[in-house]
Amino acid sequence: MTDLLTTTDDRTITDRFFATRALTESLAGPLSAEDQTVQSMPDVSPTKWHRAHTSWFFETFLLAPELPGYEPYHAAYGFLFNSYYEGVGARYPRHDRGLVSRPGIGEIAAYRRSVDESMLTLLEKGTGAGIGRLVELGIQHEQQHQELLLMDIKHVLSRNPLLPAYADLHPAPHVPSPPTTWTEVPGGVVEIGHCGEGFSFDNELPRHPAYLSAFAIADGPVTCGEWLAFIEDGGYQRPELWLSDGWATVQDEQWGAPLYWSVVDDEWHEFTLGGPVTVNPGQPVCHVSYYEADAFARWAGHRLPTEAEWEVVAARHPVDGHFLDQTLLHPTPPGPGPAAGPYGDVWQWTSSAYSPYPGFEPAPGAVGEYNGKFMVNQYVLRGGSCVTPPGHLRTTYRNFFPPSARWAFSGLRLARND
């Protein structure tokens, strides 16, 4: 399938805006009105909410302040579809989004069309540097919600006893788990963080020095075959492998395998966006929490890399890998030959707490709430996944989730001291 998105250099910002908006609608296309309304847990948002919220973002931060005479599409939408921006007013409770049966998906589609038409008027006027930066932020924000839309609907469909498929997908053939190879890196002072031209989120700034001791990092992510060995060795029953909070979570939640795994007729299966399939041992393991990743690393006699270690190695590779492909939507085993770069398939947990870089300053105004206020009680993930839109990722990109989160397309790569 041809990607609907490319890099900023390849398309004008107007083209990229409309390609992004079209991709969101394409991702929602296979879903019924009922599918798009369900909220299966507090961290999940209904598909129609993602479609509306990304429109609200452009309406609130661009159309209302920058397009003369613009009137909000609906007086209540600012309340219904604000996510967490305290600076622009009250918002509907996140955990109750699934209770909002109206507006329906047709009304949301009309809202999106109206916002797109007004954005075209604004873009045709020409954008100065400030407006251009906000449009780019809105594009990047919607790309994040495209990944969230797929994460969330996977959880929604997994809660249905019928285990319905999101779409007819084409899973990769089964292959054995490949042997682990390592890249060794000498110690010293390195530079990490975004620099140069091009977009970045504020949490990637500023570029700054970091000291690393000599280390080695695995060339590929941990596979399902390796995870099966962890399960068979009692990994989920051995408290000595787990952080205290992780062990408590295992007991409370009765974890015994990654999210979406289950045993059917004495064989491990996992639920995918294409429905249930048997577990592929050569595929990167997915939907594991930080707690699980940390326990596995300890069981394997290694550790998780820091985000600085991950970035220094990743910077040697082009930002290329298995990203969003609407015919797959699932991690795939590595191809033959040398290990590919560290991008795509699964987000990789690091051992780094999500905290500000030295000298970090959030953006002024309400958009400054985008990242900074979440810098507590979370861990950094790197590398993108099989549902990350192409063109969205950078080497310096910092994703983050709480340590117990499992519904993201999250896996791990091992590191060791040298």
How do residues 122-144 score in pLDDT, each as one tens digit? 999 876 778 999 999 999 999 99
What are 166-215's pLDDT values in tens digits?
999 988 999 999 999 999 999 999 999 999 789 999 999 999 999 999 99
pLDDT tens, position by position, 258-291: 999 999 999 999 999 999 999 999 999 999 999 9
Cβ atoms 302, 416 nearer than 8 A: yes
Grade residue 8 by pLDDT with cuts at 50, 70 and 90: very low
Using alpha carbons only, give the angle 388, 391, 394 rounded to the nearest 5 degrees.
Answer: 85
Q: Is the pLDDT of residue 369 over 80?
A: no
Nearest partner of 72 among 87, 90, 82, 60, judged by Cα = 60
pLDDT tens, position by position, 51-62: 999 999 999 999
Is pLDDT larger for residue 60 or for residue 364? 60
Flag whether pLDDT at 3 surpasses 70.
no
Two tokens at 319? 């930002």
Per-residue model confidence (pLDDT) at position 337: 57
The string of pLDDT tens digits covering residues 65-91 is 999 999 999 999 999 999 989 888 999
Q: Is the pLDDT of residue 315 over 70?
A: yes
Full-model pTM: 0.95
Does residue 407 or residue 196 have the better pLDDT? 407
* Predicted confidence (pLDDT) per residue in 215-227, tens digit: 999 999 999 999 9
The pLDDT value given to residue 6? 35
CA–CA gap between residue 368 and residue 319 (Å, rounded) = 27
Closest CA to 351 of 407, 273, 417, 283: 417
Write down the architecture of domain 182-417 according to CATH. Alpha-Beta Complex (3.90)
The mean predicted confidence, pLDDT, of the chain is 94
Tally of CB atoms within 10 A around 396: 20
Instruction: Provide the pLDDT for residue 365.
Output: 77
407: its two tokens: 């519904």
β-bridge mates for residue 264, sequence order: 267
